[in-house]
Amino acid sequence: MINKYETNTSDIINMVDFNTLILQFNEQGEKTGWSYIEVSADLACQLLPNNKKSFRVKGMLDGFAFAGLALIPMGEGNFILPLKADIRKAIHKNAGAMLHIKLEHDKDFKIDIPDDLQECFDFEPEAADFFFSLPKSHRNYFIKWITDAKTSETRAKRIVNTVNAMLRKWPYNVMLREMRKNV
């Protein structure tokens, strides 16, 4: 089902509204253990036509408002929306529970580059060049990872890892994989 409504700027926004189960990956590489919902190719196409890459969405999960979450492509046009623990806690639901979803493309989603990361990029322009060559959604993975650090020590390590990854021309998933190998 698709709803269209007008915003203050008179843009038409597509919103999909559906019910689904919360699922959980058993063995799926780096996604093992993730809780998520599936978004069919048809619904994803209604949100962002002719798109096969990750994009940000906003909306409601059982009345819980959210913004800036990534819909991740899973092949054959289908996408998943990962549900981190803090979201599952807020909606009081886990794998196997039914969930009412309202989604729309979050075209206004933007994360600013933290000053401490920019300072490092100023000293390593090659790293900055690679970083800014990445799609916006991939840059946002790095930035969110850095800003989600709970301590200044963890944040500093994440910035160093990000700059090193940019110098090696590694996207986010490769950096995480390489970090796990070195633990």
Contact 127, 120 (CB under 8 A): yes
Tens-digit pLDDT profile for residues 52-98: 888 889 999 999 999 888 898 987 889 999 998 889 999 999 999 99
Inform me whether the pLDDT recorded for 169 exceeds 60: yes
In the chain, count H helices and then E strands: 7, 8
Tens-digit pLDDT profile for residues 27-41: 777 777 889 999 999
Range(s) of the domain holding residue 159: 115-181
Structure tokens at 164: 């090193």
Number of domains in the chain: 2
Q: Are residues 93 and 132 in the same domain?
A: no
Going from the C-alpha of 145 to that of each of 50, 155, 159, the distances in angstroms are 28, 9, 9
Q: Which of 105, 139, 160 is the last residue of a domain?
A: 105
Q: Are residues 26 and 83 in the same domain?
A: yes
Give the separation between CA 42 and CA 24, rounded to whole angstroms: 22
Inform me whether the pLDDT recorded for 137 exceeds 80: no
Q: Which of 105, 128, 151 is the last residue of a domain?
A: 105
| Per-residue confidence (pLDDT) for residue 2, from 0 to 100 | 40
Helix (H) or strand (E) holding 177: helix 172-181
- Mean pLDDT for 163-173 is 94
| Per-residue confidence (pLDDT) for residue 13, from 0 to 100 | 62
Q: Are residues 16 and 101 in the same domain?
A: yes
Q: Which of 43, 78, 105 is the last residue of a domain?
A: 105
- Mean pLDDT for 18-27 is 91
The partner residues of 75 in beta bridges, in order of sequence, read 78
| Per-residue confidence (pLDDT) for residue 97, from 0 to 100 | 95
- Mean pLDDT for 155-172 is 95
Whether the CA torsion 92, 96, 97, 102 is positive or negative: it is: positive
Extended beta strands in the chain, E state: 2-6, 12-21, 23-24, 35-39, 55-61, 64-75, 78-82, 98-105
